[in-house]
């Protein structure tokens, strides 16, 4: 059994596996070399040979306990026919949401459009570098994908006032997402994913209708993953009540963000926990990094815990600080 499975399934508190969100990415010089030659991000995600190399880069360098596939949550709207582009110094830009066209996309069409993602997983499944390590597949949560598909750009400055006006569009898009997220998950598991993580990156924007936008749609996905016999990790970033979320949605593990007080949270949680450390700590100094890491490990000393960040690793992070992070986690007694 892998170290993370030990935490997830056996609730082992004697080990602290470690991996990082966005560990295959921009902070690595070897990734930046590939990216220079491949400016189209979507095409890069659909190049299974390069995405395989990128997925393995942090494993070879740092020996993390899991590989997370190099892909993106917005590959799903791309797979069902919405235009998706990534613009330099801007981020994702999506085309008009023509729901009538997207509703005509078949399961086979969708799976064919994302075939390189599944090919990536099947290639990695028996890779020697991943021996005794988990291979994590992932999806965006229905709410976060809904936000991108309707808002068309990152909602860093909030959602437009028009966002909630077309209730029919919202409801039908959520139904469409439930269907294709499940297909995407099943395809990833069949290809070799041993864990699925659900990223709800913009969950913190939900102000009301939590049942409609957060709890019910995520619960539907979580139950589906469990029905396929694979553990599922949820990361509802920015929500105010992680405890309520875990009691309703019941993921196998909850990934917390860096605004959560772990000491208070642990009093009320009975499932394994992942993450928490602010990625900005990696931009400070070694002494502070060690101190902050050890404080998390101490809080979760008697609770099954996978060390990770409270959001993705930042591009400006120095490689030496990541080595320091891994060594500190490994040496914790």
Q: What is the DSSP string of 132-201?
A: T-EEEEEEE-HHHHHHHHHH-B--TT---TTTTT-HHHHHHHHHHHHHHHHHHHHHHHHHT-SEEEEE-T
Going by the DSSP 8-state scheme, the letter that residue 212 receives in this structure is: I
Q: CATH number for the domain including 209?
A: 3.20.20.210
Q: Residue 71 sits in which domain range?
A: 3-331
Q: Kindly provide the b/e burial profile for residues 166-177, where b requires at least 16 CB atoms within 10 angstroms of the residue's own CB.
A: eeebbeebbebb
pLDDT at 160: 81
pLDDT at 157: 74
User: Alpha-carbon distance 103 to 89, whole Å?
Assistant: 32
User: Alpha-carbon distance 16 to 263, whole Å?
Assistant: 17
Q: Which regions of the chain are under pLDDT 70?
A: none
Q: What is the DSSP string of 213-280?
A: IIIHHHHHHHHHHHHTT--EEEE-TT-S-HHHHHHHH--SEEEE-TTS-HHHHTTT--S-EEE-B-GG
The Cβ of residue 313 has, within 10 Å, a number of other Cβ atoms equal to 23
Cβ burial of 100 (10 Å; 0-12, 13-18, 19+) is: exposed
pLDDT at 161: 80
pLDDT at 57: 98
Model pTM? 0.97
pLDDT at 162: 84
Six-digit token string for 119: 């090919």
pLDDT (tens digit per residue) in 53-101: 999 999 999 999 999 999 999 999 999 999 999 988 888 999 999 999 9
Q: How far is CA 12 from the centre of its chain?
A: 23
User: Alpha-carbon distance 275 to 238, whole Å?
Assistant: 13
Cβ burial of 134 (10 Å; 0-12, 13-18, 19+) is: buried
Q: How many domains does the chain have?
A: 1
pLDDT (tens digit per residue) in 266-285: 999 999 999 999 999 999 99
Strands 253-256, 232-235: pairing is parallel
Coil, helix or strand at residue 307: strand
Distances (CA, A) of 74 to 41, 93, 113, 127, 148: 11, 10, 13, 26, 8
pLDDT at 141: 98
Distances (CA, A) of 222 to 21, 237, 249: 20, 16, 7
pLDDT at 333: 86
Cβ atoms of 56 and 129 closer than 8 Å: yes
The Cβ of residue 189 has, within 10 Å, a number of other Cβ atoms equal to 19
**Alpha-carbon dihedral angle through residues 169, 170, 173, 177, given to the nearest 10 degrees:** 180
User: Alpha-carbon distance 274 to 255, whole Å?
Assistant: 4
Q: What is the DSSP string of 58-102?
A: HHHHH--SEEE-S--TTHHHHHTT--EEEETTTEEEE----HHHH
């Amino acid at each position: 059994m892998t170290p993370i499975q030990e935490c997830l399934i056996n609730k082992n508190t004697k080990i602290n596996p470690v991996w990082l969100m966005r560990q295959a990415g921009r902070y690595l010089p070897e990734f930046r070399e590939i990216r220079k030659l491949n400016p189209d991000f979507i095409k890069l995600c659909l190049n299974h040979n390069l995405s395989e190399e990128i997925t393995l880069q942090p494993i070879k360098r740092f020996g993390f306990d899991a590989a997370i596939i190099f892909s993106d949550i917005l590959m799903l709207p791309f797979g069902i026919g919405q235009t998706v582009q990534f613009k330099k110094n801007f981020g994702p830009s999506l085309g008009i949401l023509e729901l009538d066209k997207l509703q005509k996309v078949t399961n086979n069409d969708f799976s064919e459009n994302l075939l390189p993602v599944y090919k990536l997983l099947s290639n990695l499944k028996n890779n020697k570098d991943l021996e005794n390590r988990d291979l994590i597949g992932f999806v965006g949560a229905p709410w976060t994908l809904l936000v991108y598909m309707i808002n068309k750009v990152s909602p860093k400055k909030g959602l437009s006032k028009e966002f909630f006006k077309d209730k029919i569009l919202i409801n039908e898009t959520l139904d469409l997402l439930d269907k294709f997220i499940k297909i995407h998950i099943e395809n990833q598991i069949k290809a070799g994913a041993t864990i699925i993580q659900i990223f709800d990156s913009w969950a913190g924007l939900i102000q009301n209708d939590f049942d409609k936008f957060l709890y019910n749609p995520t619960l539907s996905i979580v139950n589906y993953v469990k029905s396929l016999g694979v553990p599922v990790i949820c990361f509802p970033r920015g929500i105010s009540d992680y405890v309520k979320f875990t009691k309703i949605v019941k993921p196998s593990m909850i990934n917390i963000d860096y605004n959560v007080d772990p000491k208070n949270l642990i009093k009320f949680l009975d499932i394994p926990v992942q993450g928490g450390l602010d990625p900005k700590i990696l931009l400070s100094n070694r002494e502070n990094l060690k101190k902050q890491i050890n404080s998390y490990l101490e809080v979760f000393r008697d609770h099954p815990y996978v060390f990770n960040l409270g959001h993705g690793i930042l591009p400006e992070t120095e490689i030496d600080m990541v080595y320091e992070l891994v060594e500190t986690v490994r040496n914790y007694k």
